[in-house]
Amino acid sequence: MRRIAVLASGRGSNLQVLVDAIAAGQLNGEIVGVFSDRSRAGALQRARDAGIPAFSLRPRDFDSRQAFDDALFSLVDSVQPDLIVCAGYMRLLNANVVEARPGRMINIHPSLLPDFKGLHTHQQALDAGVGLHGASVHVVTAELDGGPVVAQARVAVEAGDDAASLAARVLEREHPLLLATVAGLLDGRIAIHGAHPCFEGEPLHAPLQLGADNALHAPST
Ligand code: GAR
């Protein structure tokens, strides 16, 4: 795996981490295109600044979600990615585009899945009163935020946290989490067979954990 496509709807800080790591020689891959459903996404500008082809399509120009996804993914296919990383891509994906790319799409989500799928995950965590929150990288399947989790980073909820403070601390851990997971996929330590993640040749029965050393560690049990 070497050629990476990134889908992003927003500011693109997770994209930037991958761009910077590649520029620093820390990631043995290449971002071959950045794709968005929002023409003003900061991620697109970050891509252009890095000399990466950047594409956007407007959902309202299409008759259906299906037609939009088909058009977007024909652009994605045109750059021939080995790996498709959803990094803050905020649109639901049709099952057909996911199922046509088994094991090649991952998503970063700001919660410890399966808890707090969907939107407003930090507020959901605060409302539930959990002590531990975080972020997950999972295999994209047709089920929203429902594919097998490859790796997680845990973040303690602190007294006095609001959604913004918690989001900021989770984002700080999202960056090394995404980087370590993509690095693992590129160097083959992590593989996805169908929708099933493996680590060092063994099927993963629980998510890898991001350590304080920013490396991924096999779950203890
Ligand atoms: C990140 O927090 C990411 O986990 C989240 O959007 C943010 C994008 O930030 N993704 C989702 O909520 C997907 N369900 P970024 O644009 O700065 O990378």
pLDDT digits (tens, 9 = 90+) for 15-46: 999 999 999 999 999 999 999 999 999 999 99
Q: What mean pLDDT value characterizes the chain?
A: 96
pLDDT of residue 220: 79
pTM of the complete model: 0.97
Query: 133-190 pLDDT, tens per residue?
Result: 999 999 999 899 999 999 999 999 999 999 999 999 999 999 999 999 999 999 999 9
Domain carrying residue 173: 109-210
The count of domains in the chain is 2
Does 187 reside within a domain? yes
In three-state secondary structure terms, 166 is: helix
Burial class (CB in 10 A: 0-12, 13-18, 19+), 170: buried
Are 91 and 128 part of one and the same domain?
no
Last residue of a domain, one of 101, 124, 141: 101
Does 217 reside within a domain? no
Residue 2 CB neighbours (<10 A) = 11
Ligand 1 centroid distance, CA of 39 (Å): 17
Does 64 reside within a domain? yes
Ligand 1 centroid distance, CA of 167 (Å): 10
* Percent of the chain predicted with pLDDT > 90: 96
Are 36 and 83 part of one and the same domain?
yes
**Alpha helices by DSSP H, the chain:** 13-23, 42-49, 65-78, 95-99, 121-128, 163-187
Are 97 and 116 part of one and the same domain?
no
Confidence band (pLDDT; 50, 70, 90) for 207?
very high
Confidence band (pLDDT; 50, 70, 90) for 194?
confident
- Euclidean distance between CA atoms 152 and 158, whole angstroms: 19
Are 58 and 131 part of one and the same domain?
no
- Euclidean distance between CA atoms 89 and 125, whole angstroms: 21
* Residues pairing with 217 in the sheet: 209
Atom of ligand 1 nearest to the CA of 171: 2
Atom of ligand 1 nearest to the CA of 15: 18
In three-state secondary structure terms, 136 is: strand
> Which residues form ligand 1's pocket by a CB distance below 6 Å?
8, 10-14, 43, 87-88, 108-110, 135, 171, 174
Query: 93-142 pLDDT, tens per residue?
Result: 999 999 999 999 999 999 999 999 999 999 999 999 999 999 999 999 98
- Euclidean distance between CA atoms 124 and 72, whole angstroms: 31
Does 216 reside within a domain? no
Are 31 and 58 part of one and the same domain?
yes
- Euclidean distance between CA atoms 216 and 187, whole angstroms: 13
Catalytic residue (choose from 109, 122, 133, 175):
109
Are 118 and 94 part of one and the same domain?
no
109 is catalytic: yes
Query: Which residue lies with its CA nearest to atom 8 of ligand 1?
Result: 88
- Euclidean distance between CA atoms 52 and 2, whole angstroms: 15
Does 19 reside within a domain? yes
Atom of ligand 1 nearest to the CA of 8: 16
Does 86 reside within a domain? yes
pLDDT of residue 221: 58
Last residue of a domain, one of 101, 123, 158: 101
